[in-house]
Structures are given as structure tokens and as C-alpha cells.
Amino acid sequence: MHRPSNHPDTGSGWSTLLAYLKGLALMPLLVYRTEQHMATAAEQINELSTKLDDLIADVRAALATLTEERENLTETGQAALDSLNAKVAAFDAEIGDADGSENPPVEPPA
């Protein structure tokens, strides 16, 4: 049986509706994937925070050692100082000037 081109079962209107319904069927998968990406990002932020906390604790421990031996650095104290200086310099070089504090803005002449 031949249907006219404006019949609801023919033409682009029906194809558009089918495409729309197929898209709706994919929504749960897309939501799931988005949730997974967000969870992964949250886990990475938590991991980075933990590493930063560990780094801060290591620096504080090294500074405590140096403070105790401030007047007369022993070989151990000097090694701790050298190690700490090298680690801070390497970390600073790796991070760079993320907050702009090392290069304050230049004020225009008055």
C-alpha cells in the first residue's frame, strides 16, 4: 500500500523521532560515564591532596631537625639542610610561579 509523503510513518519527521528516542535510550549510559569521570577526577584530587599533606609533613620534619641543631649543624643536620634545599628548589622549579607571587605586578610610574 502506498502512503502519502505527509503520512506520520514516512518522511524525515518519523526518522527524527526515532533518532530522538535512540538518543534518549543512551542517556543512562552517558550519565553513568559522566559520573565515572567525575569520580575519577575526585579521586585524583584526593590523591593529590594526600601527597601534598605528606610533602608538607616531610618539610616540617626536616625543618624541626634543622631547628634543633641550628647553632651547631652536625653532618646529619647539614645533610638534612642540603637535601631540603634541593627538594624545595626542585619542587619550586616543577610548579613554577602558579600564583604569581614570585613576580609581583609592575606598577605603572606615577
The string of pLDDT tens digits covering residues 29-55 is 788 888 777 778 888 888 888 888 888
The string of pLDDT tens digits covering residues 66-98 is 777 778 888 887 888 888 888 888 887 887 777
Q: How far is CA 72 from the centre of its chain?
A: 42
Distances, alpha carbon 13 to alpha carbons 2, 16, 42, in Å: 18, 5, 42
Query: pTM of the full predicted structure?
Result: 0.44
DSSP run (H or E) holding 18: helix 12-68
User: Sign of the CA dihedral 11, 12, 17, 22?
Assistant: positive
DSSP run (H or E) holding 60: helix 12-68
Q: Is the pLDDT of residue 7 over 60?
A: no
Q: What is the dihedral of CA 57, 62, 68, 69, to 10 degrees?
A: 180
Task: Tell me the C-alpha distance between 88 and 59, whole Å.
Answer: 9
